Amino acid sequence: MDIYIVGAKAQARICHQTLVAEGHRAPYVFDHDRSVGKPWDCELIHEDSDFERYARKCEAYLVCIGDVGRGQIRVELSRRLEAVGLAAYSAIHPTTFVPKSAKVGRGLQTFPCAVVGDFTEIGDYCILGINCAVDHDGRIGRGVHVMGGASVAGMVKIGEFATIGANATILPGLTIGRNSIVGAGAVVTTDVPDNVVVAGVPAKILRQR
């Protein structure tokens, strides 16, 4: 299957390895940034006017745009690609553990040794970073990015488009608000409202988004 990749940086290169190992190709890659080179033997597209034209040459897509607070962009680009008939591809690294009792959405991207707990629900277009853990009965909204080494305890709810920073810890049963950012290394001990940035041990609100 030919898969259209959006994003040509590090995340795309890692996801490309997963899809190639599963027998797929990624002949076309789109990225607005003209400073990036071709991530592998592919055609690199920069012009937005060519976005859909090259997408139509493929059967599926994967939006490889991570970083902090980019979940909404992943969702918007995914909808644009689905409107031209492409299916969302999930790049799940072979060392990721996802139990049968978990429910995962479309376009999931996972990195080595990510772990999902039993009875967890993960929304569309999420990213689970290297060696992160989302424990049992979690509810993860669409477009969420759980970064490398983060530990999300059981029964945590994370609103759509939120970012959990590298090595952050979320204690059991808490709620992380929509579009909020938990800073790297933070320890979250109370609920986090929508549209804020929190950091520290224990985590406190630094600013509104």
Q: Interior CA angle at 29 toward 26 and 32, to 5°?
A: 170
Out of 24, 93, 136, 145, the active site residue is 136
Domain residue spans of the chain: 3-89, 91-198
Average pLDDT of every residue of the chain? 96
- Give whole-number Cα distances, 199 to 20, 54, 98, 147, 160, in Å: 37, 41, 29, 14, 19
Pairwise CA distance, residues 22 & 153, whole Å: 31
* CATH class of segment(s) 3-89: alpha beta
pLDDT value, residue 45 = 95
Pairing of β 204-208 and β 196-199: antiparallel
* Cβ-contact 131, 114 below 8 angstroms: yes
Q: How far is CA 37 from the centre of its chain?
A: 22
Task: Evaluate if residue 92 carries a pLDDT over 80.
Answer: yes
- Fold of domain 91-198: UDP N-Acetylglucosamine Acyltransferase; domain 1 (2.160.10)
Q: Is 35 within 8 Å of 52 (Cβ atoms)?
A: no
Angle subtended at Cα 31 by Cα 28 and Cα 34, rounded to the nearest 5 degrees: 115
| pLDDT, tens digit (0-9, with 9 covering 90-100), for 15-53 | 999 999 999 999 999 999 999 999 999 999 999 999 999
136 is catalytic: yes
Which structure tokens are listed for 40? 């592998």
- pLDDT tens-digit map of 151-207: 999 999 999 999 999 999 999 999 999 999 999 999 999 999 999 999 999 999 999
